[in-house]
Amino acid sequence: MALSAEESGRLAALLGGHAEQVTQRWTEIVAGSLRGRLSQAELRRQVQDLHSAIVTTSKQGVIDLSAENAAELRAALSELSRGRARQGFSATETAISIFALKEVLAGLAEEAGGATALRDYVAFSNLVDELGLFTFESFVRTRESLIADQAEQLLELSTPVVKLWEGVVAVPLVGTLDSARAQVVMERLLQTLVDTGSPYAIIDITGVPAVDTQVAQHILKTVVAARLMGADCIISGIRPQIAQTIVALGIEFGDIATKATLADALRHVLRLNGVETARRQPRRDV
Amino acid sequence: MERVPILKIGDILLVSIQLDMSDQTAVALQEDLAERIVATGCHGVIIDITALDIVDSFVGRMLSTIASISKVLDAETVVVGMRPAVAITLVELGLSLNGIRTALNVERGMELIAAARADELDYQLDDDPDAETATP
């Protein structure tokens, strides 16, 4: 795919010679595809950066994207696709920023004419394809790292252990419970039990969209581990559909207390602790 | 051979395991404990395993045996201070320490034994009137 020394020399001459015209046309095409979501000035700066990177690299002779001397070009391309990925542009919109160069080159080749023009255009076009693929790859890489970061943040954020009462802690589970999250929840809950010396824990599954055998297994493991340490667990927040699923799947919670709402669970624990929770008549002003 | 010390606090014997258990120390502990229960007439045994990093099937069985021995001698056994990591490992291994009561720390363990003891005394007092009504 690499350009020969001769070809890259001509590319440098072509792009370098018509610098103003090239960046102008290039910016116009890209701006059209982005529909004004990026300012003209910023777009122009990006295009100029790319243009100068390509010219500099092609002046050094053979262009090979994987070679040592193309480091600057690679950096410029990665920079562009990283920016696009973070700003929420689609993959097509990112790739077009590079592929627009083809159209510019086609215009230039037509103007120049001559016997070598067509062959040169094909070679340049191949190079642009390669640049486009590289951009696409770094775009995907950036997106993937974004997703990984978010997953980690989600894991950190979504498992708080809150103290409800003296000796009563609660874990409101929100979102799907996979093995990794179940492990984090279990460890954090057990550690909190030790740190606070609470003999009761309430696991609230109101925010869990679906309970299958695997999720039930994770919850049961947590309860058994807490029991081994000398704390009792109550499961609360079981919605009607979830209750039906649990029965249909034949999941046995054994002698683990289950309550419909967090309030019921708290009242249950308080009664076990000997705290009176009488329902009073609401006071009325006469 | 190293021995595990057994401390008497009121009506309770406290055993704090601070060293890696071998067959010999386990057997010695069982013998010592049985003797002390009989000698002191205590009704509760607390085994503190806060210092144990690893609880395997061997230690698990030893705890079960001690609980059974104490039960025969009319003493309640409570295992206290199990670490989260230990509890998770036991669950993953499928060991459930059947017949052993647990508490978070020594203080809770003592409360548990006191409560169990009180229940038992109540029950014994309640026994007689029940018997009378049952057989008129």
* pLDDT, tens digit (0-9, with 9 covering 90-100), for A67-119: 777 788 888 888 888 888 888 888 888 888 888 888 888 888 888 777 777 88
Name the residue in chain B with its Cα closest to that of A222: B88
Number of domains in chain B: 1
Residue A1 has a pLDDT of 53
- B1 belongs to a structural domain: no
Helical segments of chain A, H only? 5-17, 19-34, 40-59, 71-86, 91-112, 117-157, 179-196, 213-228, 240-249, 262-273
Residue keyed to tokens 């809150």: A162
Chain-chain contact of B104 with A191 (C-beta, under 8 angstroms): no
* Sequence spans of domains, chain A: 5-152, 162-273
Measured in angstroms, the CA of B94 and the nearest CA of chain A are apart by 10
What pLDDT does residue B136 have?
Answer: 45
| Residue A168 pLDDT | 93
Minimum Cα–Cα distance from A198: chain B residue: B104
Per-residue pLDDT at B45 exceeds 90: yes
Residue A63 is given by DSSP the state B
pLDDT at A180: 80
Residue B72 has pLDDT above 50, yes or no: yes
Question: Would the pLDDT of B131 be above 70?
Answer: no
Measured between beta carbons, the chain A residues lying within 8 angstroms of B79 are 230
What tens digit of pLDDT does each residue of A225-284 get?
999 998 999 999 988 888 888 888 888 888 889 999 999 999 999 998 877 766 666 666
Burial of B23 (0-12, 13-18, 19+ CB in 10 A): exposed
Of B91, B103, B107, which is closest to A224 when you measure between CB atoms? Answer: B91
What's residue A218's pLDDT? Answer: 86
Range of the domain at B85: 6-134
Q: What is the DSSP string of A126-152?
A: HHHHHHHHHHHHHHHHHHHHHHHHHHH
Mean pLDDT of B59-70: 89
Angle, helices A71-86 vs A40-59, to 10°: value is 160
Assign A130 a pLDDT band (cuts: 50, 70, 90).
confident
Distance CA B59, CA B69 (A): 15
Burial class (CB in 10 A: 0-12, 13-18, 19+), B21: buried
Please give the structure tokens belonging to residue B80.
């206290």
Instruction: State the angle between helix axes of A40-59 and A19-34 in degrees (0 to 180), rounded to the nearest 10.
Output: 130
Q: What whole-number distance in Å separates Cα of residue B43 and Cα of residue B40?
A: 9
CATH number at residue B35: 3.30.750.24
Domain A5-152 has CATH 1.20.1050: no
Given a cut of 60, whether residue B25 has pLDDT beyond it is yes
Contact B90 A225 (CB under 8 A): yes
Which chain B residues have a beta carbon less than 8 Å from that of A199?
A: 103-104, 108
Does the residue B37 lie in any domain?
yes
Q: How confident is the model over A145-201, as pLDDT tens digits?
A: 989 998 888 777 667 888 998 889 999 988 888 888 888 888 899 999 999 989 999
Query: For residues A161 and A193, is the Cβ–Cβ distance under 8 A?
Result: no
Does B134 have pLDDT greater than 60? no
Q: What is the pLDDT of residue B15?
A: 93
pLDDT value, residue A233: 93
Would you say residue B77 lies in a domain? yes
Q: How many CB pairs under 8 A join A and B?
A: 57
Q: Are A27 and A47 in contact (CB under 8 A)?
A: yes
Q: How many residues in total does chain A contain? A: 286
Out of A197, A198, A225, closest to residue B87 by CB? A225
Q: Is the ipTM, as predicted for this complex, more than 0.85?
A: no
Torsions phi, psi of A204, nearest 5?
A: -100, 120
Mean pLDDT of chain B: 85
What is the fold of A162-273?
Answer: Transcription Regulator spoIIAA (3.30.750)
Nearest CA in chain A to B102: A230
Nearest chain A Cα to B98, which residue?
Answer: A228
In a domain, B54, yes or no: yes
Q: Which residues of A touch B (CB under 8 A)?
A: 186-187, 190-191, 193-194, 197-199, 221, 224-231
Question: In this predicted structure, what is the pLDDT of residue B135?
Answer: 47
B68, part of any domain: yes
| Long-range contacts (CB closer than 8 Å, 24 or more residues apart) made by B123-127 | none
